[in-house]
A and B are shown apart, each in its own frame.
Chain A
Amino acid sequence: MTIITVNGREVEADPARPLIDACHDNGAHVPHYCYHRGLSPVGSCRICQVVVSQGDMPPRVVAACRTPVAKGMVVNTEAEAAHGARKECLEFILKNHPLDCPICDKAGECSLQDNAYAEGQSECRSVEPRRELAKRKSLGDVIVLDQERCILCSRCVRFMEEVPQTPQLAIVGRGTHSRVETWQDQPLSGNYQGNLSDVCPVGALTLKDFRFQARVWNLRKSASTCPECSRGCSVTVEVLRDGPVKRIRPRHNEAVNGYWMCDEGRLGFHEREQRPRLAAALLAGASGLETASASRVIEVCADLISAAERPLLLASPFITDEEAELLKQLSASCGARAAVVIRDTESADADTILRTGDPSPNRRGLTEAGLEALSPAAAAAALGEADCALLLGERSAELVGFEALCALPVKLRLVLLDSYAPEGEIPALNACLGIPDWTERPGTWTNIDGHKGQLLPARPAPNGTRPLTATLRVLASILAESGTPTAADIAEEATR
């Protein structure tokens, strides 16, 4: 560590990192476009200029992202000369930038917008016409390019070269004719294209999927963990007006995913958002499943389990570590076999960047908790052997398979606690109760490397669902010898 002075304060700086990182880490604001912590620095935009003096050398303006840290540096990020230099280069960047903010999806989270406000150059001095280039150029299925908005920072080019290491973008032409293009207008390919819209500091590369879906300041953002594979990338779930999930973006986490996430994780939520939810408590009656109260369903479920000889508790790999703990308590209190359905790892889905190909986000947490892992086929067989089964967790019905569930003997007493409604009528089904999905409940998933990923509720769960933790706790206390719910259960019941 090297000691330098940033804005009058002595701080420790990593000599392996450029000066801009030392400034950011110590609370000094230095704007930046071409610099990105996850990419190599190039120093092309010059917006990061700061004033540096060292020893008896006179102070000079340098680009903080291309200046290595050296002992005894004195940095002033707020010097008049620094602001002046930034203002000048901002004026050049804005020279050809269209006044697009009202229709630009980046507005509200655009660093060009922020810096233009901060440096306060609201008047345009140029009278020449601005460049006219392609405004909505499709770059494949994921990304739309607006060449007019591009400020030629080359982050996208470097991202493609350095992260997925599949260079596909380039800045072609010279001078005012420079623009970002793909080779011979080929569409982009690969599973990491979505990150381009995050690295682009302006609205030049935007997600097709999110195009005009919402203004970003209307989205409520919550930290969460991606459910698509056992890497468990840290993500932010963004929800519009407590309703639909509109966007999922990577959340920086050096221990798991760095700054990135794959497109399957980013866009995977659509398919689930469209699926009909199970948001009711249903009990088998004379005319099929009939609406009942949640407490009645839980009572029936407890009766069925306590009357059974070979009860089975079969969980999906989407249950959290907390839910697994309660599941184990429940299985201890009623002597039931507790297992989790784990699909095989598809090595074809794996890559060397983030994807593990293992579709169970909490495989490690659940196997470490001591739950028996069953393949979907083995799970169907275990269901056939049991006389009463509780199928629980988000997507548990889907994992065992609708056909397999329909083929189960009718004498099996099956209870389903799932977020999604089954595709059709399942003859063996005795009761079901909706539960919140991964965007609606708190918890922890343990990823493939043992990192604990947090889930936080991003939106309220639909009416008619009941948290799995509450249900498991009440079931365990009914089935335990005491037979009476604990004070905590009653309190939790009251808050519902």
Chain B
Amino acid sequence: MALVKRKELSLAEKLYLPEIARGLSITLTKMFGKSITRQYPEEPLPTTAVTRGQPRLVERQDGHLACVSCGLCEAACPAYAITIDGQETDRPIEREPERFEIDMLRCILCGFCEEACPKDAIFMSSELELADYDRASLVYGLDQLRRQRPALQRRIDYIHGINERW
């Protein structure tokens, strides 16, 4: 059996009040100082061009989607999240999506669709939040996926930059 020898306390230690004051001062400086916790969701996470959020479709200035429903993203998607049906349009591009669905519950945010697209029509946005009360409403259709180009511009520039380097 080992004997623990009690440490002799100095007078200052015996008084213990200075230590309480020191502890309180730390608490108080942290309380009124710069906070390091994030008030999510009021305060969203910062995103960068590298962030791969949910894929979104680019709407061009003329209000039409850039997508021509070629189905390459659908074929590239490893999670089988995308379903597309095409239709004819009078515009010179001839073909546009009639139905474009991404099952956001299947999507693994891999960005393969963005990489496959020959038309610069689908990009990984910085939108990360996903919540609803039922699964069906998380299968996003054309209306939920379309975003005007400026909303995606940062990512578009980043991807173009990468492609140029290659």
Question: Could you tell me which A residues sit within 8 Å of B by CB distance?
Answer: 101-103, 107, 135-136, 211-215, 217-218, 241
Residues from chain B with a CB closer than 8 A to the CB of A241 are: 83
Is B110 among interface residues, defined by CB-CB distance under 8 A? no
Q: Complex formed: what's the CA distance from A101 to B93 in Å?
A: 12
Besides A103-B68, A215-B74, A217-B75, 17 more A-B contacts (Cβ < 8 Å) are A102-B68, A102-B95, A102-B118, A102-B119, A103-B70, A103-B93, A103-B95, A107-B70, A135-B92, A136-B94, A211-B88, A212-B86, A212-B88, A214-B85, A217-B71, A218-B71, A218-B74
7 residue pairs bridging A and B, Cβ less than 8 Å apart = A102-B118, A103-B68, A107-B70, A212-B88, A212-B95, A214-B85, A215-B71
Q: Complex formed: what's the CA distance from A211 to B69 in Å?
A: 13
Residues from chain A with a CB closer than 8 A to the CB of B74 are: 215, 218
Residues A215 and B95 in contact, CB atoms below 8 Å apart:
no
Q: Complex formed: what's the CA distance from A217 to B87 in Å?
A: 17
Q: Complex formed: what's the CA distance from A102 to B69 in Å?
A: 8
User: B139 CB to closest chain A CB, in angstroms?
Assistant: 15
Residue of A nearest to B117 (CB): A102
Given A135-B94, A136-B94, A212-B95: A102 and B72 interface contact (C-beta under 8 Å): yes
Q: Complex formed: what's the CA distance from A241 to B82 in Å?
A: 13
Looking at A102, A135, A214, A217, which has the most chain B CB atoms within 10 Å of its CB?
Answer: A102
Q: Complex formed: what's the CA distance from A136 to B85 in Å?
A: 20
Q: Complex formed: what's the CA distance from A103 to B70 in Å?
A: 6
Q: Complex formed: what's the CA distance from A103 to B91 in Å?
A: 12
Q: Complex formed: what's the CA distance from A154 to B72 in Å?
A: 30
Residues from chain A with a CB closer than 8 A to the CB of B86 are: 212-213
Q: Complex formed: what's the CA distance from A103 to B89 in Å?
A: 11
User: A242 CB to closest chain B CB, in angstroms?
Assistant: 13
Within 8 A of A (CB), among B75-127: 75, 83, 85-88, 92-95, 118-119
Residues B70 and A212 in contact, CB atoms below 8 Å apart:
no
User: A476 CB to closest chain B CB, in angstroms?
Assistant: 44
Q: Complex formed: what's the CA distance from A485 to B8 in Å?
A: 98
Residue of A nearest to B92 (CB): A135
Residues A215 and B75 in contact, CB atoms below 8 Å apart:
yes
Residue of A nearest to B75 (CB): A217
Looking at A212, A214, A215, A217, which has the most chain B CB atoms within 10 Å of its CB?
Answer: A212
Q: Complex formed: what's the CA distance from A211 to B71 in Å?
A: 14
Residues A212 and B75 in contact, CB atoms below 8 Å apart:
no
Report B48-85 CB contacts with A as 1/0, cut-off 8 Å: 00000000000000000000111110110000000101
Residues from chain B with a CB closer than 8 A to the CB of A213 are: 86
Residues from chain A with a CB closer than 8 A to the CB of B118 are: 101-102
Q: Complex formed: what's the CA distance from A211 to B96 in Å?
A: 12
| Closest 4 pairs (CB-CB, A-B) | A102-B70, A215-B71, A212-B86, A103-B95
Residues from chain B with a CB closer than 8 A to the CB of A215 are: 70-71, 74-75
Given A102-B68, A103-B93, A103-B94: A212 and B119 interface contact (C-beta under 8 Å): no
Residues from chain A with a CB closer than 8 A to the CB of B85 are: 214
Residues B70 and A101 in contact, CB atoms below 8 Å apart:
yes
Residues from chain B with a CB closer than 8 A to the CB of A217 are: 71, 75
Q: Complex formed: what's the CA distance from A334 to B69 in Å?
A: 58
User: B117 CB to closest chain A CB, in angstroms?
Assistant: 9
Residues B87 and A212 in contact, CB atoms below 8 Å apart:
yes
Residues from chain A with a CB closer than 8 A to the CB of B69 are: 212
Q: Complex formed: what's the CA distance from A217 to B76 in Å?
A: 12
Residues from chain A with a CB closer than 8 A to the CB of B87 are: 212
Residue of A nearest to B70 (CB): A102
Residues from chain A with a CB closer than 8 A to the CB of B95 are: 102-103, 212
User: B68 CB to closest chain A CB, in angstroms?
Assistant: 5
Residue of A nearest to B84 (CB): A215
User: B115 CB to closest chain A CB, in angstroms?
Assistant: 15
Q: Complex formed: what's the CA distance from A294 to B71 in Å?
A: 41
Residue of B nearest to A136 (CB): B94
Q: Complex formed: what's the CA distance from A135 to B119 in Å?
A: 19
Q: Complex formed: what's the CA distance from A135 to B72 in Å?
A: 22
User: A269 CB to closest chain B CB, in angstroms?
Assistant: 19
Residues from chain A with a CB closer than 8 A to the CB of B88 are: 211-212
Q: Complex formed: what's the CA distance from A101 to B85 in Å?
A: 16
Q: Complex formed: what's the CA distance from A212 to B96 in Å?
A: 9
Q: Complex formed: what's the CA distance from A272 to B127 in Å?
A: 45
Q: Complex formed: what's the CA distance from A102 to B70 in Å?
A: 5
Report B6-50 CB contacts with A as 1/0, cut-off 8 Å: 000000000000000000000000000000000000000000000
Residues from chain B with a CB closer than 8 A to the CB of A103 are: 68, 70, 93-95
User: A278 CB to closest chain B CB, in angstroms?
Assistant: 27
Residues from chain B with a CB closer than 8 A to the CB of A101 are: 70, 118
Residue of A nearest to B88 (CB): A212
Residue of B nearest to A103 (CB): B95
User: B58 CB to closest chain A CB, in angstroms?
Assistant: 15
User: A347 CB to closest chain B CB, in angstroms?
Assistant: 39
Q: Complex formed: what's the CA distance from A136 to B86 in Å?
A: 16
Residues from chain B with a CB closer than 8 A to the CB of A136 are: 94
Q: Complex formed: what's the CA distance from A107 to B69 in Å?
A: 13
Residue of A nearest to B89 (CB): A212
Residues from chain A with a CB closer than 8 A to the CB of B94 are: 103, 135-136
Q: Complex formed: what's the CA distance from A213 to B71 in Å?
A: 12
Looking at B68, B74, B95, B119, which has the most chain A CB atoms within 10 Å of its CB?
Answer: B95
Q: Complex formed: what's the CA distance from A421 to B4 in Å?
A: 94
Looking at A103, A136, A211, A213, which has the most chain B CB atoms within 10 Å of its CB?
Answer: A103
Residues from chain A with a CB closer than 8 A to the CB of B70 are: 101-103, 107, 215
Residue of A nearest to B118 (CB): A102
Residues from chain B with a CB closer than 8 A to the CB of A107 are: 70
Q: Complex formed: what's the CA distance from A212 to B69 in Å?
A: 9
Residues from chain B with a CB closer than 8 A to the CB of A214 are: 85
User: B25 CB to closest chain A CB, in angstroms?
Assistant: 66
Residues from chain B with a CB closer than 8 A to the CB of A211 are: 88
Q: Complex formed: what's the CA distance from A412 to B137 in Å?
A: 52
Residue of B nearest to A218 (CB): B71
Q: Complex formed: what's the CA distance from A135 to B91 in Å?
A: 12
